[in-house]
Amino acid sequence: MDRGAATELPERRPSLAPASLIAIAVAILVFGYFAWLIHTVMLDTRMRSQVSEGASIAEGYKAAVADYFAKNRSYPTNNRQAGTAQPGAISDKFVSSVTISNGVITVIYGNKADEHIAGRKLAFAPHPDGSGTQWTCNLAAGTNVENAKWLPNFCRH
């Protein structure tokens, strides 16, 4: 072995400059933020659609309760008295039942409803006035959906 011969060193690869690493980290953060934002917007849109479908189903029940009140000057105690389908008889893709109890209509979300609203309730309470029956969403504990921004516009006060 010749001591005077030059020894070959392995080829050295250029390393990334710190500025490049920072740029990559920032790009990952920006991408992650936009992915989260898109997911949130899509979730909100899907939830509003599902909650609104339950509110639409309640419209027929509201008419039945208002008619009953106009004829009897009291609210029906249950679905049968209001002349509507029994609680589990009307179900929808996102609604498992609609119940009337002393005039209050409660929509229970289920079936294929998203996990964020499955099992949750949206209640409509009647309030008579001189021109008929006005309705408010009952957002008391135990009857509200998870997020108020998912409610139909007339429920957000």
For residue 128, what pLDDT is reported? Answer: 84
Is residue 77, in this structure, part of any structural domain at all?
yes
Residue 26 has pLDDT above 80, yes or no: yes
Number of H helices, E strands in the chain: 2, 4
Is residue 5, in this structure, part of any structural domain at all?
no
Q: Indicate whether this model's pTM tops 0.85.
A: no
Residue 120: which CATH number? 3.30.700.10
Q: What is the pLDDT of residues 82-124, one digit of tens each?
A: 999 998 887 689 999 999 999 999 999 888 988 888 888 889 9
Is residue 4, in this structure, part of any structural domain at all?
no
Average pLDDT, the chain: 83
For residue 1, what pLDDT is reported? Answer: 52
